[in-house]
Chain A
């Protein structure tokens, strides 16, 4: 499964070689050749001056069935409160549904969930609510079976969920049940209106490459979306309907059992909700130096974050990690101290409104995303900041 190169037409000009985003093309004996790993992206096909390259579709995708209509958002809750990401997705879902001229549904599983009305205020036309003690806590298997059933009954064309621990665990199970495509961790959603296709854009290779993915022939089209990518939009006058769905406890069962939950301790301010985050990286050098950042955070009313290195080194608990395998944050102000700015870290914080970088290496990539950069020793700069803030 790869692109086809017509050796009759190929004159070995090499135009295709730099076009391949994965560097899989080479010219050997005046003919282009492709190595294994081709994703059929078509970049080489577009630049070939001799039209020698074709990316033949192996399976001509059958057009998707017309019976699937509507956009759904899985509205995750924790402890009876709808999570912020659910509202963010409803705001985007509203846009998608309007573009397609269809309805927006929200699906919420839980027990005594406090703010289901908010799901309507934030964009849903209908809320499918399964309110039962069994679904109070996040349970992959129960959630997956219940959601797959609702999807089969109501046939939405698109279903999106937050790329949270829960979303990233149970959504793949639903996709496998329905034998449909799922795109993980999207940071952009768009619509090809003519074909009613969800254009799902996501970072790969640790954020080095962006890929746009479609699910052509199967329905529904499913995606998980990173929190803090879209903005919540609220309009209190909106009308909608809450549909209570009975939970069939004899039929929908789970083999995994949740025995207990221990809340992460040691966070005075929740990272995801903080307006200001002061974050430290390798440049701190040793665990004791996080005290300096805590002092700065205290003076600013900020939360303390970390890049991966300090967490790996055991200087600070994982709950503080910002980045690809940690939390995605989007505060008003992000102050990066001694963080070089590996793409994996940038992936978790680069949408912050204002980014301040303090680092003694002027070539550190963190300066590429920084609004304000201070090239200098954080151990000189941060104490001055604390001092000035305290004196005010």
Chain B
């Protein structure tokens, strides 16, 4: 079973702080990390390969630095890694990103399953997986919390929705996005670390992918960011004083007079 994992390198979000003086994101000292949700996608792919055989290929679209994350993916069990990197890919929205990743998966060929994390922690859209599924004309299931069975060219999976769990079946090849409930990612193995250092990570450019440059990067994006601002927290709170007894007394009084309880 050949599995492709789509990963993204993102700023470690807890480290994203705002400089109170300039009101901008402080980037100094922020390391780039593998999108946390993608680690679950990778782990699930590696587990499936351990059971079913085949190869796990980690794919990312990003700047040259993203190679470090792909090497990390190899240390965590991926067999191969491919970096999609080209100035022409920069500024891509989800539509252009999905188009580029879909082209890479087509070029890769022989792929039974594509796994993505449910969303990234920087963009937070969760759109690339389903958009890519449509472009590859493959069935798709989002928010997969458990793969129940893979047999006879079909997969049965459990999907989380607001009201509970759905059990869904579909033929392979297919695209899924996974939640963090699906597994607990492993730590890199010593053998993996050794492999990650020596492995070749090929870089595919727009030309090598054979993509229409009008459909990648900013040029291929349907949406455009026109304004960026920082949310203002306007609420002026009141801190209730005294010991627990007095604080609670005061709070309940306020809640009652507000008709809340």
Contacts and interface: CB of A to CB of B under 8 A. Distances in A.
Interface of A: 1-2, 18-24, 36-43, 58-59, 78, 138, 140-141, 144, 164-166, 168-173, 175-177, 179-185, 199, 202-218, 254-264, 272, 276, 300, 312, 318, 324-325, 327, 332-333, 342, 344, 350, 353-357, 367-377, 380-381, 384-385, 388-389
Given A41-B225, A169-B143, A261 B166 contact: yes
A369 B87 CA distance: 41
Given A166-B161, A169-B142, A179-B222, A21 B95 contact: no
Interface string B235-261: 101111000110111011011001011
B140 A173 contact: yes
Nearest to A271: B162
Contacts of B93: 181
Interface string B136-151: 0001111100000000
A211 B122 CA distance: 12
Interface stretch (B21-29, B53-61, B75-83, B197-205): B21-29
A184 B124 CA distance: 8
21 contacts: A20-B24, A37-B63, A40-B224, A58-B219, A168-B126, A172-B134, A182-B94, A182-B95, A185-B124, A205-B11, A205-B16, A205-B121, A207-B231, A214-B223, A256-B169, A263-B163, A276-B260, A356-B255, A369-B235, A376-B244, A385-B251
A40 B218 CA distance: 10
Interface centre among A176, A218, A259, A262 (most CB of B within 10 A): A176
A168 B142 contact: yes
Given A1-B87, A210-B228, A260-B167, 10 more contacts: A138-B166, A172-B130, A204-B123, A218-B222, A256-B170, A261-B164, A263-B164, A370-B237, A384-B248, A385-B251
B51 interface: no
B226 interface: yes
A209 B122 CA distance: 10
Contact of A318 (B14, B181, B228, B261): B181
A354 B255 contact: yes
Contacts of B235: 355, 368-371
Contacts of B244: 376-377, 380-381, 384
Contacts of B126: 168, 172, 184
The 5 residue pairs across chains A and B that have the minimum distance between CB atoms: A181-B222, A176-B134, A18-B22, A184-B125, A172-B130
Nearest to A202: B124
**Which secondary structure characterizes the binding site on chain B?**
mixed
Contacts of B91: 1-2, 38-40
A368 B135 contact: no
Interface centre among A177, A210, A350 (most CB of B within 10 A): A210
Contact of A255 (B171, B181, B260): B171
Interface string B192-233: 000000000000000000000010011101111111111101
Contact of A212 (B94, B166, B221, B226): B226
Contacts of A165: 142-143, 159-162
Contacts of B141: 140, 169, 256
B128 to A, nearest CB: 8
B27 A170 contact: no
B136 to A, nearest CB: 10
B186 interface: no
Given A264-B164, A369-B235, A173 B131 contact: yes
Contacts of B26: 23
Contacts of A59: 214, 218-219
Given A173-B133, A184-B127, A213-B224, A389 B237 contact: no
Nearest to A324: B124
A377 B245 CA distance: 12
